[in-house]
Amino acid sequence: MVWMLRLSKFVAPLLLAPLAACATASTPDEAPPPWRIAGPFQAIITADGTTDPAIRGFWKSRGYGRLLRIDEAGVTQFETGAACYRPASSGEALSAMDSVSYRYFRALPESRSAIFQLLRGDTNVVFDRLEALPEECTETPATTPRAVADAFLDAFDRHYAFFDRRPPNHSKRAERVNSAIRPDMSDAQLWDALAGYMDGLSDSHTKLIGEVGGERRRVQDGQGTTLPRMRAAEGGETAWLVGLIDTTMKKLGETAHHTGNDRIVWGVIDGRVGYLQVFQMGGFTAREDFGSEAWATAEMTEFDRIMDEAFAAFAEAGVEGVIVDLSNNRGGWDKIAKAIPARFTDEAYIGFTTVTRGSALPPFPHVIEP
């Protein structure tokens, strides 16, 4: 049995402010934030297939609960908290993003800290060097019901950011789980106990995915009413999506384009209003090397090509405005998400900031560049 817990770990309030109002400017008495003093962007894996010697060693993240062991062969990630263990790196319980290792770094002065990223333009995660991997870290973690429950509850207690918006709080939820844990309980009973913790979180970014008795299971509360209703209807979600796209294409008529590996629909409504629907922030090509430099380059190239074509058509039609429809967007790569508003501005501004719980770092400003 392999389970994967994914949590919402950061707060991202919308911040409509000009670049000049950037809140990360430091005073003479304050240390500048790491992203302002870090060195150039570098790949962890070099051209010969080994790691950059400068980044080898052991690293602990600020927030996120991660430890990295970087040797000549590559990067090994451990989860750390009440326990320190190496999670599964493949299997049915993992999404594509869960399977991607850190690929890039920016060294901080004196080489005792560095910023790591999974993809270019992705979240900046600050790590500090350790002299050695802590002795308690293991590649064969305990899997008793008590050990699994402790790791599960500890992850929520340390990293979940939204209990103030999604009551009840952690202690009440944890009490519910702890009262159900028994040494001889089955995997199915343990699953039910952990799933019960998540009742009412109503947060679709937080999910429990796993396999119990050969059956794939998923708990993901907070997807609204439409998706669950359509999934339960005849034909399921696929039939609903096909119908939705068909209706949109008919409305757009001869201007309709369904492109980007079926992830984007665009056209002009009644000759007056541009329409752009993006179903996913990525996946615009058929490449299977997800997360690689070649994949990232191909994705941005294809997205920019589609946007260039669409916006040229909007300009030629003299549209009064453009509807950007993200009502059915399933998320994805931050860089794509920021590239959409970049099409609607002629000066840089801070679109939003992110704060990682437990990191003690200032808010990171995500700048929208024209």
CATH number for the domain spanning 54: value is 2.40.128
Alpha-carbon dihedral sign for residues 53, 59, 61, 64: positive
Instruction: Average the pLDDT over each of 178-192, 260-274, 285-299 and give the range with the smallest value.
Output: 285-299
Q: Quick one: 230 and 126 in the same domain?
A: no
Q: Is residue 294 part of a domain?
A: yes
Q: Is residue 279 part of a domain?
A: yes
End position of a domain, from candidates 97, 130, 163: 130
- Which tens digit of pLDDT belongs to each residue from 203-248? 888 999 989 999 999 898 888 888 889 999 999 999 999 999 999 9
Instruction: Average the pLDDT over each of 24-38, 110-124, 146-160 and give the range with the smallest value.
Output: 24-38
The answer, yes or no, to whether residue 4 has pLDDT greater than 70, is no
pLDDT interval class at 7 (50, 70, 90): low
Rounded Cα–Cα distance for residues 294 and 103 (Å): 13
The total number of structural domains in the chain stands at 2
End position of a domain, from candidates 130, 148, 168: 130
What is the mean pLDDT of the segment spanning 56-75? Answer: 95
What is the mean pLDDT of the segment spanning 300-324? Answer: 98
For position 114, what pLDDT does the model report? 97
Q: Is residue 156 part of a domain?
A: no
For position 94, what pLDDT does the model report? 63
This prediction has a pTM of 0.83
Q: Is the peptide bond before 168 cis (omega within 30 degrees of 0)?
A: yes
Report the mean per-residue pLDDT for the chain.
89
Residue numbers of the domain that contains 72: 31-130
Q: Is residue 207 part of a domain?
A: no
113-142 exposure pattern, b = at least 16 Cβ within 10 A, e = fewer? bbbbbebbbbbbbbbeeeeebeeebeeebe
End position of a domain, from candidates 130, 147, 172: 130
Q: Is residue 362 part of a domain?
A: no
Q: How far is residue 364 from each of residues 33, 37, 328, measured CA to CA in Å?
A: 9, 13, 27
Alpha-carbon dihedral sign for residues 180, 183, 189, 193: positive
Q: Is residue 368 part of a domain?
A: no
Q: Is residue 359 part of a domain?
A: no
Q: Is residue 193 part of a domain?
A: no
